[in-house]
Structure 1
């Protein structure tokens, strides 16, 4: 397979995954189901899945169905009140879920003939977010003969039913090297700092998310936090500002500061303070108290 026909030329890294999928294509031995899995998100699973799906069905996207977690509470007609109560329990908490109706949509999708290819492709994103009833329905679907290929994507495969994993060919994805992460992010025309690279942990997706988060924080505050505050007034002012931000941003800032301050100071007591601050924020301790404790000299 030369570069002109290789569907994975734009996928950086992931040599094992590309080799396994390329061999399947070249020998015309496409498995009924694949599990694209990694221990960390943002390493190219989705992009590779799209490239593989295009190889199977061509450019006709009507033969590809994407299933993603949703927090929508609207259910299809015919859902029983008991099922409505059961399935909406997690959604009422704001947790995205793949519902059983979405898997029924998959069954209906596969029951019709492909438009311009021999088979269809179903891509299930974040499959670890399957509601238990949806997982059981998916399992039954995987057990039945079909004219389609499943690509199941997960960064938390330990949360999947073992019986689902056993019916899929495992395609492993790994953390990228620093050089590969830099290459991916440069292609996005985004500037990458060494600090962001370090906390990206081999994930370009994380790196891009970190960059966007950093850009959302006022530059003046980032500048003041290059080192721990040296006076009480500065610490209290910073604490007052930061504690008004949303929970996600505060947790992210802890990770960013912990790496930067450790690199500069190598202070184990400071590490303990970061651990305490993170635990307190996770358990919804008053943010102002958390940041006061962390920042006061």
Structure 2
């Protein structure tokens, strides 16, 4: 059976994993490293199905544990999906994979597998391991027992070298345009293609998942902000720049503001001539840096909008 038939555009990863399966020699741990949204989690699910020789949903399989970063809310750990399902507010702090979760992993591995030849664990966004959790995971990787662990991260450098050295590296890459379109035709909703713009496609940088996320975010922001990068072709009157800065900061949180700046960069790159484009991109990048440094957002946007229109 071709367990990886649903994986598109990742021939190197599929070849390496298929070779391991055919030889019957699985590594204790794998690092699936590459950009978000290019098929790392899908490939992990296919790999688990191949190891278990079972198709379908594995979410309730007794020998499979799938760990995601969590938020701590009043002493209880929640994933982002759990918070959204419970209609709870997403905390401002970044989610982490925590020591309590690695202890759960250790308990899972301490029990012999029930139906499978080995216990299986997937850690998504492994780069979010906090220090205590990373050190605890390292001890587990030193003596994994009858288990295979899959760590999903953007790059080996996002993890401790001692963790990376105990994993077999499976590389994932951005998809070419043909493969991106093939994936999107499978998974995108019907209203995606009439609405998606060249800037949104470029924003994904070869990641179908990132393109879909960009499209969803684009739908969530007010229509007045969706084409700012295309519209700033003439100096804005001072009052209009101040009003627009006020509207942006009132309507969008900082995360959405950073995303809007990325969208504007793509729009400007596609719509301006090179010398002028470089100056504008530098202004936008400076605004991104200020927002990340917790400079007052409204001030950042006021300065940016007054400068953009004058370039």
**TM-score, normalised on structure 1?**
0.86
Q: 1:201 to 1:114 in 2, by over 3 A?
A: same
Counterpart in the other structure of 1:62: 62
Three-state SS of the structure 2 residue aligned to 1:152 is strand
1:107-132 Cα shifts (integer Å, max 9, x gaps): 21122222222112011111122122
Deviation at 1:251, TM superposition (A): 1.0
Residues 63 and 113, structure 2, Cα contact 8 Å, conserved in 1: yes
How big is the shift at 1:223?
A: 4.8
Matched, 1:206 2:210: yes
Alpha-carbon RMSD: 2.2
Which structure 2 residue ranges, 5 or more long, are not aligned?
Answer: 78-90
> What is the distance in 2 between the residues matched to 1:93 and 1:247?
10
User: 1:168 Cα shift?
Assistant: 1.1
Partner of 2:3 in structure 1? 7
Query: Does residue 112 in structure 1 map to residue 111 in structure 2?
Result: yes
CA displacement 1:17-73 (0-9 Å, x = unmatched): 0000111112212211111111x2221111110110111122552211011211226
Count of aligned pairs between the two proteins: 277
Pair 1:250-2:246 in alignment: no
Secondary structure of the corresponding residue to residue 260 of structure 1: helix
Q: Which residue of 1 aligns with 2:270?
A: 263
Asked whether the 8 Å contact 1:178–1:197 carries over to 2, the reply is no
- Counterpart residue number, 1:237: 243
Contact 2:229 2:263 in 1 (8 A): no
Does structure 1 conserve the Cα–Cα contact (< 8 Å) formed by 2:229 and 2:268?
no
Deviations 1:58-99 (A, max 9, x none): 2552211011211226379xxxxxxxxxxxxxxx97232222
- Answer yes or no: is 1:291 the counterpart of 2:301: yes
Kindly report structure 1 stretches of 4+ aligned residues shifted beyond 4 Å: none
Distance 1:248 1:198 in 2: 19
The Cα of 1:145 is off from its aligned counterpart by 5.0
- 8 A Cα contact 1:229 1:235, kept in partner: no
**TM-score in terms of structure 2 length:** 0.82
Q: Which residue of 2 aligns with 1:82?
A: none
The offset of 1:282, in angstroms, is: 1.8
In the aligned structure 2, how far is the partner of 1:221 from the partner of 1:163? 45
After superposing the two structures, state which structure 1 stretch, 116-125 or 236-245, moved more. Answer: 236-245
